[in-house]
Amino acid sequence: MRKKDRFLAITGFGTLAALILAMMAATILEKACGSSAAFRWVYHNPAVSVLWGVLALAGICLLVSRGTARRFWVILLHLSFVVILGGALLTHLRGEQGKVYLPEGETVTTWIREDGQERPLPCPVTLESFEVLHYSGSQAASDYRSRIRAGEEYFEISMNHIARIGGYRFFQSGFDGRSSVLRINHDPLGIGVSYTGYALLLLSLLGFFFQRGTVFRKTLRRVVQSSVFLLLPLLVSPAEARAQTHPKALPPDVADRFGDLYVYYNDRICPFETMARDYTLKAYGKSRWGEYDACQVVTGWLFYYDWWRDVPFKLKEKDRGTAKEAEKEFILRSVAAGDAWKLYPVADSSGFVRWYDCNERLPLEVIDDYDRWVFIRKVMDVVERSVREEDWEEVSRIVGKIRDYQEKVAGPVLPSPGRIHAEKAYNRLSRPMVPFMVSITWGLILFVLMGICLSRGRRLPSAIKHASAGLGSLLLLYLTVTLALRWYVSGHPPFAGSYCVMMLMAWLSALAMNILWKKVPLVFPMGFILSGFTMLMASLAGANPQITHLMPVLQSPLLSIHVLTMMLSYTMLGLVALNGILGLAVPLDVSSRLKDISLVVLYPAVFLLVCGTFLGAVWANISWGNYWNWDPKETWALITFLVYSFALHGTLLKPFRKPRFFHAFCLLAFFCVLITYFGVNLFLGGMHAYAQAG
């Protein structure tokens, strides 16, 4: 490399490293001292802006100096980032955003910027009406909708549906009890330039993979011309310890009758079995206790409280006497007192159905109807009397009466029988304990055997590969059915919430195995291990993966595409990291071949990461009114991309030409992915707290 090129490379990548460290420090500073400190000292610091400018200038000069400019898609790819940076600068210098509060029927002429400054609206705005839309049969909000008059025109604004008035964009933000709250964004230059950059980026990414002579195309050709082999398996099925004590419980068939009841739980109507399962998981860490299933456990709390109150909760020693133990005690007592049993629907004069437990203050229409009032207040007392007498036929009959009442009053808003059956099937499948143990065990054994075979230059028998393919197909089938059931039951794609996202990542890994194993057998150990660990994380993070209605702002197709793209990228980066472990353990010539495989996966993985990040920015701009807010998760997604960009520029950075250094770097770089998804949620916080909801 010429001295001039070496100087430009050192300047560019040195500046990039400084920016990465600055952004890392900013997220920690924000957690310790607040957002204003992070923006003042890092994000809006003129010195940091200069660094971005130096990076862009050095990159362009290096492209021109090395003759890369003759490769159209490569130069367009890098220029798109310059355009995006230019748009960000314009937004920073010229963009305005804030809020306006619109009391119903009043005309407002000003709005308030984020710095507290009052600014005039482009025209007087009046809120004609505001309404909260609800999910069918639920009190949970599905959308907020404002109908406004701006000048002589009328506009309807809701979540993910904005209004453009005189160069300003109005977004539905919420409702504070008296006024509709709208966010306002005025950024005519920055958004246009940034979106142009996003479009150029997408176009150049598509073109890059078809351009001849790139490092990606050369590496792909070497991988296709060589063959890499693998593997074998083992199954471990853990035995579940049985409880030593045996508190009293209803017979399984009688408890199942309770499981068939509808209950209003978690802001939606679901089978009683779902609530019982969630409560049992919260209390004991499993969906059953000893020989008793969840319905037996929760009905036992009600009818045999004296027997169950001494059953110990699943608690770490440090959690004893803390809020976690108090929460479990509260769940047990709310069930024992009947407060959690919202079994009784009541329809008001407008047809809206609200659900009550037997202890709540009932509406006047019920109080005036003596027979119905007695039924709601006393029916569980009758059930309890029959339980004490062990008259199980009578218990089942009365529970059937409760179900008949539910269907009579709330029939139009009850979930369909198909959805109820699907939810019960989901309840039995959604805890991936055995699948993740099998997947991890199988993958680790294949991983070891793969290293041995590669080191000795041997091929494993085809029977072993086909056995692995069979297990991979079963794993894909399990994950597909689980996610499809959750999708059907919840009514929205399973792309929100830590449990869903981890299971989606496991599904993508299993899908990759089933598609690629014939051409790239190495995908087997990587796929099994990645699927297993992501299912493990789903099992831990989603020990109680409740199905909930989506927040209104999350109901956007762009969000689903954004999450799917990011998870596909994370899955591929995980495969690269696992391949890096193997590359560090095998001889140098094999490590070099494994480096080629990592590069072939790394290019599309990083490009998907870039696309996913900017798709998220577009969604945020439509929903929140701001396409980039330096939220910790946004920032770490950008950091992750920039870190991996070092590995993609091996022709410029000499250490990355060495296979072992490359593998070690990719392994360490994956920690950025882990911080982006887990670390931010657990330690840094930010607007992306919804990522833990489900």
**The residue to which tokens 């410029």 are assigned:** 652
56, 176 contact by CB (below 8 A): no
Q: Give the model's pLDDT for residue 461.
A: 66
The helix (H) or strand (E) run that includes residue 516 is: helix 498-516
Alpha carbon distances (Å) from 277 to 423, 559, 568, 663: 12, 29, 31, 44
Q: For 441-450, what is the mean pLDDT?
A: 75
Whether residue 438 is found in the same domain as residue 402: no
Which amino acid is residue 140, in one-letter code?
Answer: A
Whether residue 515 is found in the same domain as residue 605: yes
| 554 — pLDDT class (breaks 50, 70, 90) | low
Q: Give the model's pLDDT for residue 166.
A: 83
CATH number at residue 115: 2.60.98
Whether residue 433 is found in the same domain as residue 512: yes
Q: Give the model's pLDDT for residue 14.
A: 92
Residue 668 has pLDDT above 90, yes or no: yes
Whether residue 320 is found in the same domain as residue 441: no
634, 616 contact by CB (below 8 A): yes
Count of CA atoms in the C-beta half-sphere (13 A) of 105: 1
Q: Give the model's pLDDT for residue 454.
A: 66
C-alpha 27/C-alpha 636 separation (Å) is: 8
Whether residue 579 is found in the same domain as residue 441: yes
3-state class of 402 per DSSP?
A: helix
Whether residue 50 is found in the same domain as residue 143: no
C-alpha 82/C-alpha 93 separation (Å) is: 17
The helix (H) or strand (E) run that includes residue 441 is: helix 433-456
Residue 692 has pLDDT above 50, yes or no: no
3-state class of 248 per DSSP?
A: coil
243: CB partners within 8 A, 6+ apart: 289, 290, 291
Q: Is the pTM of this model over 0.95?
A: no
140: which DSSP letter?
S
Q: Give the model's pLDDT for residue 130.
A: 86
At 613-638, the pLDDT tens digits run 888 888 877 776 677 778 888 899 99
Nearest to 562 by CA among 660, 691, 452, 671: 691
260: which DSSP letter?
T
Q: Give the model's pLDDT for residue 238.
A: 38
| 235 — pLDDT class (breaks 50, 70, 90) | very low
Residue 230 has pLDDT above 50, yes or no: no
Residue 640 has pLDDT above 90, yes or no: yes
Q: Does any domain span residue 526?
A: yes
Residue 24 has pLDDT above 90, yes or no: yes
Residue 227 has pLDDT above 80, yes or no: no
Residue 234 has pLDDT above 50, yes or no: no
- Answer with the residue of higher pLDDT: 320 or 176: 176
Q: For 565-593, what is the mean pLDDT?
A: 83
At 339-362, the pLDDT tens digits run 888 888 888 877 788 888 888 888
Q: Backbone phi, then psi, for 118, in 5-degree steps?
A: -90, 130
| 553 — pLDDT class (breaks 50, 70, 90) | low
- β-sheet bridge partners, residue 292: 289
Whether residue 359 is found in the same domain as residue 490: no
Q: 686: left (phi > 0), else alpha (psi -120 to 50), else beta?
A: left
At 89-127, the pLDDT tens digits run 888 888 888 888 888 888 888 888 888 888 898 889 898
Percent of the chain residues topping a pLDDT of 70? 84
3-state class of 179 per DSSP?
A: strand
Q: Give the model's pLDDT for residue 644.
A: 94
- Answer with the residue of higher pLDDT: 319 or 580: 580
| Most confidently predicted of 143-152, 230-239, 311-320, 620-629 | 143-152
List the structure tokens of 86. 């230019």
| Most confidently predicted of 138-142, 206-210, 238-242, 596-600 | 596-600
Residue 693 has pLDDT above 60, yes or no: no
Residue 681 has pLDDT above 80, yes or no: no
Q: Does any domain span residue 280?
A: yes
Mean pLDDT of the chain: 80
Residue 462 has pLDDT above 80, yes or no: no
Distance from the Cα of residue 390 to its chain's centroid: 46
Pick the last residue of a domain from 414, 433, 455. Answer: 414
| 135 — pLDDT class (breaks 50, 70, 90) | low
Residue 550 has pLDDT above 60, yes or no: no
Q: Give the model's pLDDT for residue 244.
A: 41
Q: Give the model's pLDDT for residue 294.
A: 87
Whether residue 231 is found in the same domain as residue 348: no
Pick the last residue of a domain from 364, 386, 414. Answer: 414
Whether residue 257 is found in the same domain as residue 147: no
At 65-78, the pLDDT tens digits run 776 555 777 888 88
Residue 691 has pLDDT above 60, yes or no: no
Residue 233 has pLDDT above 60, yes or no: no
* Cβ neighbour number for residue 165 with a 10 Å cutoff: 18
Q: Does any domain span residue 199?
A: no
| 423 — pLDDT class (breaks 50, 70, 90) | confident
Q: Give the model's pLDDT for residue 241.
A: 35
Whether residue 11 is found in the same domain as residue 59: yes
Q: Does any domain span residue 75?
A: no
Whether residue 395 is found in the same domain as residue 270: yes
| Most confidently predicted of 65-69, 446-450, 538-542 | 446-450
Q: Does any domain span residue 245?
A: no
C-alpha 242/C-alpha 283 separation (Å) is: 17
Q: Does any domain span residue 40?
A: yes
- Answer with the residue of higher pLDDT: 211 or 103: 103
Residue 138 has pLDDT above 80, yes or no: no
CB-based contacts of 204-212 (< 8 A; 24+ apart in sequence):
204/73, 204/74, 204/76, 204/77, 204/80, 205/77, 205/607, 205/610, 205/611, 207/72, 207/73, 207/76, 208/73, 208/74, 208/77, 208/607, 209/603, 209/604, 210/73, 211/71, 211/72, 211/73, 211/74
DSSP for 295-360 reads HHHHHHHHH-HHHHTTSPP---GGGTTSHHHHHHHHHHHHHHHTTT---EEEE-TTS-EEEE-TTS
Q: How many domains does the chain contain in total?
A: 4
Q: Does any domain span residue 37?
A: yes
Q: Does any domain span residue 220?
A: yes
| 639 — pLDDT class (breaks 50, 70, 90) | very high
Task: Among 225-234, 575-584, 656-665, name the one with the lowest average pLDDT.
Answer: 225-234
The residue segments making up the domain with residue 113 are: 96-186
Whether residue 408 is found in the same domain as residue 432: no
Q: Give the model's pLDDT for residue 663.
A: 92
3-state class of 112 per DSSP?
A: strand
Q: Backbone phi, then psi, for 367, in 5-degree steps?
A: -60, -35
Q: Give the model's pLDDT for residue 237.
A: 36
Q: Is the peptide bond before 559 cis (omega within 30 degrees of 0)?
A: no
C-alpha 241/C-alpha 109 separation (Å) is: 68
